[in-house]
Amino acid sequence: MVLDIMDIFMHDAIEEALKGLEEGGVPIGAVLVEDGKIIGRGRNKRVQQGDQLMHAEIDCLRNARLTGGYHNTIIYSTLMPCYLCAGAMVQFGIKKVIVGESNSAPEASHFMESHGIEVINLDLKECRELMEIYIKKNPKLWDEFLSELNPDLLLSPELKSRSNCISIKEEKKAL
């Protein structure tokens, strides 16, 4: 089987997520690509470092080499970025975000798109399963993680123990 470049870079993001999982953290990984080369890698280190701001995309940007800007870069993330990470992408002028899945966490895709960022959701089984298994094994930690991202997500009892998170938009429609 021949992998296209998108699959190769997403594979690297998945490897970062797996490293985070091995370290006892939330399995979310990201890579930043410029001209077909990875210039930054990162993984969620919230648990490992006790730092609620150390999301995979933020770690990736912190580890990226300095450039004249990130306008010609693409970020690959195993999970749809939250608003914190999406804001960083807007701030740094990243024009394309490719994600492995968006079912497990709230998404900021509309926010990114409204700021001119192209968002592609690959909806990869491997990324979905990685998060589903993690959430089932760590529901309390995942709920804590989500509450830091947006406390409104934990309004209903159904959301507190779910293994398939739904977006805020879908939750509000259900109300």
Residue 158 corresponds to which amino acid?
A: E
Q: Is the pLDDT assigned to residue 6 strictly greater than 50?
A: yes
- For residue 169, pLDDT beyond 90: no
Taking the C-alpha atoms of residue 159 and residue 165, their distance in angstroms, rounded to an integer, is 7
CB 9 within 8 A of CB 31: yes
Q: Could you read off the pLDDT of 103-152 as tens digits, one per residue?
A: 866 668 999 999 999 999 999 999 999 999 999 999 988 887 777 666 55
How far, CA to CA in Å, does 16 sit from each of 57, 60, 90, 172?
A: 11, 10, 23, 33
Cα-based distances in Å from 147 to 82, 116, 140, 155, 159: 12, 28, 10, 10, 11
> In a 3-state reduction of DSSP, which class is residue 96?
strand
In angstroms, what is the C-alpha Rg of the chain? 15
- For 8-19, the pLDDT digits (tens) are 999 999 999 999
CA atoms within 13 A on the CB side of 19: 14
User: To the nearest whole percent, how much of the chain has pLDDT over 90?
Assistant: 65
Q: Which residue has the higher pLDDT, 148 or 59?
A: 59
* Per-residue pLDDT, 162: 42
- Which carries the bigger pLDDT value, residue 94 or residue 65? 94
Q: Cite the active site residues.
A: 57
Q: Between these two residues, 161 and 32, which has the higher pLDDT value? A: 32
Residue 127 C-alpha from the chain's centroid = 10
From CA 146, how far away is CA 64, in angstroms rounded? 26
In this prediction the pTM is: 0.82
